[in-house]
Amino acid sequence: MEAMIAPSDTIQPGVVAERVTELSAGELSDIVDACTQAIVEGGGFGWLTPPDRPDMEKYWRGVLLMPGRHLFVSRVDGVISGAAQLIETPANLEAQRHSAQISGHFVAPWARGRGNGKAIVRSIEYFAREAGYSVLKLDLRETQKAAIALYNGLGYVRWGINPYYAMIDGKMVEGYYYTKKLQDPEQ
C-alpha cells in the first residue's frame, strides 16, 4: 500500500485517500459495501443495479490485477468509503500517452459531504503528476450532480457533451467529457 494523503483543505479529519495494490478480506468487504450503497443511491459509476456480492468481489480483485490500472480509495476512520481508478493509456495509443483517465469514482452515501471525493481526486492527481502524466480525462452522466460540482470545483474543464451517453429508466441522459492539464508535457 502506498499512502498518498490528500491535502486537508475542505477534507474533514479522519478522511484520507491512498493508492492500494491489494485489499485484505475486510477491505474487500468494505469496498463492496461502499460501492453497492453508492449504486443503490444512483452514484455507482456505470451500474444502475448492484451486481451480486460474489461478482462485485471478483470485479474489485480484477481491478487490482489489471496492468495499467491503479485503484485509489478513501477511508473514514480506516473504513473504505469510496474509490476511483486511474487508467493509463495503452502503449498502442502512443500519441496519447501523456494522458490518463479517471474512472469508476464513487463515494458511499454515509461518507458524502466529508471531502472523500476531493481526497480521492487529489491523490490521483498527485500520483499522475509523479508518474509523468500531464493531462487527466474523465466522463460523467448528467445525473451525477455532486461529481460534476466536484470536478468543476477542482479545475476540470468540460469540453464536450454526448446527448446519447446512457439510458436510465428508459430515458436517454447526456454525458459530459472533462479534462484537466496537470503540467506541460515538455517538462
Residue 40 confidence (pLDDT) above 70: yes
Cα 166 from Cα 64, distance rounded (Å): 26
Q: Does any domain span residue 157? A: yes
Does the residue 187 lie in any domain? no
Residue 76 domain flag? yes
**Overall size of the chain counted in residues:** 187
Domain that holds residue 159: 2-181
Q: How many domains does the chain have?
A: 1
Q: Which pairing describes strands 15-20 and 157-168: parallel, antiparallel, or unpaired?
A: unpaired
Q: What is the CATH number of the domain that holds 41?
A: 3.40.630.30
Q: Does residue 176 fall inside a structural domain? A: yes
Tens of pLDDT along 66-123? 999 999 999 999 999 999 999 999 888 888 889 999 999 999 999 999 999 999 999 9
Greater pLDDT, 183 or 25: 25
Q: Is residue 23 part of a domain?
A: yes
Q: What is the pLDDT of residue 141?
A: 93
Q: Per the domain annotation, does 73 fall within a domain?
A: yes
Q: Is 74 exposed, middle or buried (0-12, 13-18, 19+ CB in 10 A)?
A: buried
pLDDT tens-digit map of 141-151: 999 999 999 99
**What's the DSSP call for residue 95?**
G
Residue 186 has pLDDT above 60, yes or no: no
Q: What is the pTM of this model?
A: 0.90
pLDDT > 80? residue 2? no
